[in-house]
Chains A and B, each alone.
Chain A
Amino acid sequence: MIHTENLSKKFGNVMAVDGLNLDIKEGEVFGFLGPNGAGKTTTVRMLTCLIGPTSGLASVAGFNIGSQDTEIRRVVGVLTETPGMYDNLSAEYNLKIFGELYEVKNVKGQIDKYLKMLGLYDRRLDAAGTFSKGMKQKLAIARALLHEPQVLFLDEPTAGLDPEGAHLVRDFISELKKEGRTIFLCTHNLDEADHLCDRVGVFKAHLLVVDTPANLRRSVFGRKIVFHLSRVDESLAQMIREITFVREVKVIDNKIVVNIDNPETQNPQIIRKIMEAGADLQFVGELRHSLEDVYLELVKSA
């Protein structure tokens, strides 16, 4: 659905996006992660035909960037970094303008549908300027969806929202995912990316890595199993270290943290060793690294 080949953008001497290669499938929710100034918004702007690439190729929904820009704009919806509403105009009129520009057939019906879905219907006649930030963000999401786009670009959809508002927006994105829409999600909220995205790409001028959140955790940190014991002595830790498939062993209080590749098959062997050594094994669990840990590790080493 979204394909890029060495997509690059240079502003003066600054290379904002450098040789981006991406392939995003239909119905996939793709998280685009990266620090501020990494080039995420520039990428979204190129993929939504707001700015042209300096070099490289890209296509969205089968249309080529540069030669079929109007066709691309028709089939994508964009939630920009800031909602950018016409504050003096009512919520309904704000949507009406965009419904007409997107040539939506049943503008009124679509406006009502999304205002109801996002809980704004009762405030439809109020000026957008009287809305809270969260309400404006919801209104902007409604605006991006009016024409039922195949591909949705969401740039920081929950930025600046209170927990309740952010939760509502995330639930809404989940619903859109269920509808099978392709979603390109730029976010700093890594929990959000972890929960919503099928795959994530960590980006800093160029793409560092693309994979599912689970695979990224594995590839960056491996899998760490924690063995809780009533008492740990160094000889037991050393015994575990000597097992061939064990990559790393750390002792933390009464816990032994073991880095292995395949806990499902390797755990029983470790447990047997512990039992043979006469230690009291209380319970076993897997240490889960957050996507934030993965992200920080990747960006730090970039």
Chain B
Amino acid sequence: MKKIITIIRKEWAEVFKNRMVIFTVLFLPLIMTAIPLGVLYSTRSATATTNTQLPSEMTQSLCPGISSSKDCMQIFLVSEFMMLFMLLPVAIPVTIAAYSIVGEKTTRSLEPLLATPITTMELLVGKSLAAVIPGIVATYGAFTIFVVGSWIMLKNRILLTAIIDPRWLIAVIIVGPLIAILAVAFAIMVSSRVNDPRVAEQISMVIILPVLAGFFGQVAGLFVLNTQLILIVGGILAILDVIMLYLTSRVFQRELILTRWK
């Protein structure tokens, strides 16, 4: 465990000196938080000054337990943007993993590292956690800021409970880390074939596409993200994580790294 912590600390000391990583870890969560908060603020102002009404059946269907169609519209619009919080556990770990792993190749520091008594699994876990933890912390942090911001703006417990409903808590708390693990495992796989951190990052970012598809699919009304669907997605992600971690541990072997990851 000590060696894993050493690797994590080393990774953070190194990657957080990289401007691209700092930008991604700091500003991306802020942007992703500002968008739903901005939507909440603007819909609140708009619904206060217009007489737009949703049919009562639609209100009941979209927002069970909420009688005001204006409140329902607000909840509906904000929830459309909640998927943005699922981008953070992909983008941040991929950026860090791309720099931490391919960076070792470009600086040729991997060989002395592999010559130490650290096991391959300790190294892999250390590097993966160094990438996953900031992604999860940033996601949780951004979501907390969103919750506090929403509370300040709404000051309505029922409305707040409706916006921050269990499906988003499940998504952020459980699905977020599962996505982050998948993203890092994928980034490690990609880094086995490339030598440039930017190329590794760009290719690894492919994994963001399913999340974006989910976002646009929901906005376009192709499906409704309810608790059941999020749990199913979480289950699939957990299986994919196990498969990807297995594949990564197969790929991440000292000999392969030194003789092929040039």
Chain A positions near chain B (C-beta within 8 angstroms): 11, 45, 48-52, 70, 73-74, 76, 78, 80, 82-89, 93, 97-98, 100-103, 140, 143-144
Contact = CB atoms under 8 A, between A and B. Distances in A.
A84 B117 contact: no
A87 B117 contact: no
Interface in B107-131: 107-119
Contacts of B3: 100-101
A80 B258 contact: no
A103 B117 contact: yes
A93 to B, nearest CB: 7
Given A73-B116, A101-B116, A102-B117, A86 B111 contact: no
Most A-side CB within 10 Å, residue of B6, B112, B115: B115
A93 B110 contact: no
Nearest to B114: A50
B70 to A, nearest CB: 53
A98 B258 contact: no
B112 A140 contact: yes
B262 interface: no
Interface in B1-34: 2-3, 6, 10, 13-14, 17-18
A93 B259 CA distance: 28
A143 B107 contact: no
Contacts of A89: 10, 13-14
Contacts of B17: 88
Nearest to A99: B6
A84 B110 CA distance: 7
B50 to A, nearest CB: 54
B10 A50 contact: no
9 contacts: A50-B254, A70-B117, A87-B107, A88-B17, A93-B13, A98-B116, A100-B2, A103-B117, A144-B112
B57 interface: no
A86 B113 CA distance: 11
Given A50-B111, A84-B109, A74 B117 contact: yes
A87 B103 CA distance: 11
Given A45-B258, A50-B111, 14 more contacts: A51-B255, A70-B117, A78-B112, A84-B111, A84-B112, A85-B107, A86-B10, A86-B14, A86-B107, A89-B13, A89-B14, A101-B3, A101-B117, A103-B2
Interface string B237-262: 00000000000000000110011000
Given A100-B6, A102-B116, A82 B254 contact: no
Contacts of B114: 50
A153 B17 CA distance: 32
A101 B254 contact: no
B180 to A, nearest CB: 24
Interface of B: 2-3, 6, 10, 13-14, 17-18, 107-119, 254-255, 258-259
Contact of A82 (B10, B14, B108): B108
Nearest to A75: B117
Contacts of A80: 108, 111-112, 115
A102 B114 CA distance: 11
B258 A50 contact: yes
A76 B259 CA distance: 21
B84 to A, nearest CB: 31
Contacts of A143: 112
B107 A84 contact: yes
B127 to A, nearest CB: 13
Contacts of A50: 111, 114-115, 254-255, 258
Given A89-B14, A97-B10, A51 B112 contact: no
Given A86-B14, A97-B6, A103-B117, A11 B111 contact: no
A103 B6 CA distance: 11
A73 B254 CA distance: 13
A143 B117 CA distance: 14
A101 B118 contact: yes
A86 B9 CA distance: 13
Contacts of B110: 84
A11 B114 CA distance: 20
Contacts of A98: 112, 116
Most B-side CB within 10 Å, residue of A48, A84, A102, A140: A84
B116 to A, nearest CB: 4
Contacts of B259: 11, 51
A144 B112 CA distance: 9
A80 B111 CA distance: 7
Nearest to B260: A11
Nearest to B116: A101
Contacts of A85: 107, 109
Contacts of B117: 70, 73-74, 101-103
Nearest to B3: A101
A84 B13 CA distance: 16
Nearest to B18: A88
Nearest to B115: A78
